[in-house]
Structures are given as C-alpha cells and as structure tokens.
Amino acid sequence: MNLHAMPTTEFSAIKSKQKVDWASGDYAKIGTTLQVVGEELAEAVDLSPATRVLDVAAGNGNATLAFARRWCDVTSTDFVESLLARSEARATAEGLRVKYQVADAEALPFNDEEFDAVVSTFGVMFTPNQPQAAAELIRTCRSGGKIGLSNWTPESFIGALFRTIGTLMAPPLGVQSPSLWGTREWIEETFGAASKSIAFKQKSFVFRYRSPEHFMEVFRAFYGPVHNAFLALDAEQQAKLEAVILSLIAERNTATDGSMRLPAEYAEIVMVKA
C-alpha cells in the first residue's frame, strides 16, 4: 500500500491509539533500563558543547539526558506529555537544562534547519507514517548537521516480540513494521539523497532481568504495547501469548543461572545531512 495515499484521518486514528498505548503502563520504568543506548548514541554522534539538539519521540529522555550531560542545548519532544514530565524530573534531579515540548514526530513545530543535530532512540521508528517522520528529521536538521538514531532491527528480540504479538493482534492495515528503521537498505533509501554520509553499525543491548517470568511481569505491567495487548485478549489468548513470549525468551536467553540475560540487536545510525 502507498502510505502517502492513506487518508490523514487514518493516520490520526492510528496515532491516537498509539498515544494511549505508550501512555498506559509506565514506560519510564522500562526506558530507564535502556539508558546506556542514549549514552552510546551521544558518543557516536560526537557533538561539541552548545550544539542545538532535537530529541524526537524522546520518551522518558534517555538520549535527551545523555546529550544534556555533554552540555548540548537540548529540546526534548514526545506526543505523550506524561513521559516528558518523567524526563524533566530526571533532568531536574541532575541539574540539567533541557527544553521540553509536546510534539508530533510527523509534524514537528520547528523551523527548517533549526537544529545542529536531530536524534531519536527507539522512538521515531514507531511512527505510522514513516516517510513523513523521516522527512521531518531531515527538514529540521541544518545542512552539515547530524541525524542520530538507535532503532531495533527486524532480527532483534523486540522485533520478534512485536511479530509475536501480531500473531494474535493484527497491526493496523497499511502501516509498515517499525523495524524497517533498523535496516540499512531502508535507511539508505529513505535518507540517502539528503545525506553526505551514513554510518550504520549493528550493536547489542542486553536485557537483564531476575528471570524470564520477572521480565514478563515488568513488561506486562509497564510496557504500553504489551500491557494493552494483554488487556485486549481473553484469558485463553493471554495464556497463549505469555507462553509464546516465554518460549521466545528461552530461545535467546544466554543466562544459565535462572536469570535472564538476553542480547537484543539494534542499529546505531549517524548521518551527516547534505
């Protein structure tokens, strides 16, 4: 399906549901465990202090805080206000200066080329209108500036987790997989014409939990998409989904002591805008 041909009202309906999904549970409890990814992205983008940075779909602020710790002038955005509030509390606790603004990643309220760098960790990849979101990243970044992304790959644990959920709950018609953002081909096709260079590196984040059952407990309670998937299913389907997720974990878990140590592949991407 041609995504550009989808009516705006359909995208709006999908985003409204996504907003409910990400606002439910408490994603901040999950997000803080991913902090190292924001730190590594900040090192990879390698910016000077006072650089103007826009964090898109920033969630609870992992990349936001990482760049602010390096004295960048960060504007942090998300369409879920409660997540920005959690990030702001973290910034305040550390004495970091960050500007926060509720914003839709597909219609960013900023001028063309307003920022020296535009970044996102596991955020913008979940937008339904992917070409439009990518165009907004490009538009708001100045010529010669950098676009830095951390995105789950299709082969990653999270990519597999969403496919597992999709076997019981079909994704919205016409919306492509978020994990496309973790493929070199799609990134080069989407950003290549607007970029001087694209550095694409496969990395691994390790999910560490007390046990697979502990992971299930935490993600079912706090990770919006999983939380709402279980709410939408009857008891029999819930049991089936839990069993399939635990089986997926068992296939990838490298711990031998009953705990969970599960490497998850992601793509770290740094582009220089033409």
Domain ranges of the chain: 3-154+171-206+265-273
User: Which residue do the tokens 């307003």 mark?
Assistant: 114
Q: Looking at residue 6, what is its pLDDT?
A: 44
Q: Tens digit of pLDDT for each residue in 163-209?
A: 988 888 777 777 889 999 999 999 999 999 999 999 999 999 999 99
Q: Looking at residue 4, what is its pLDDT?
A: 40
Local structure of 119: helix, strand or coil: strand
Q: Looking at residue 199, what is its pLDDT?
A: 98
Question: Which class for 265: exposed (0-12), middle (13-18), buried (19 or more C-beta within 10 A)?
Answer: middle
Q: Looking at residue 3, what is its pLDDT?
A: 38
CB of 183 within 8 A of CB of 153? Answer: yes
Question: Which class for 247: exposed (0-12), middle (13-18), buried (19 or more C-beta within 10 A)?
Answer: exposed
pTM higher than 0.75 for the full model?
yes
Q: Looking at residue 168, what is its pLDDT?
A: 80
Low-confidence ranges of the chain (pLDDT < 50): 1-9
Q: Tens digit of pLDDT for each residue in 20-42?
A: 777 777 889 999 999 999 999 99
Q: Looking at residue 182, what is its pLDDT?
A: 98
Q: Looking at residue 208, what is its pLDDT?
A: 98
- The set of residues, in sequence order, having a beta carbon less than 8 Å from that of 9 and lying 6+ positions away, is none
Q: Any idea which fold 3-154+171-206+265-273 has?
A: Rossmann fold (3.40.50)
Q: Looking at residue 70, what is its pLDDT?
A: 98
Local structure of 110: helix, strand or coil: coil
Order the strands of the 260-273 sheet from edge to edge.
98-102, 73-78, 52-55, 115-121, 141-152, 260-273, 195-209
- The set of residues, in sequence order, having a beta carbon less than 8 Å from that of 96 and lying 6+ positions away, is 65, 68, 69
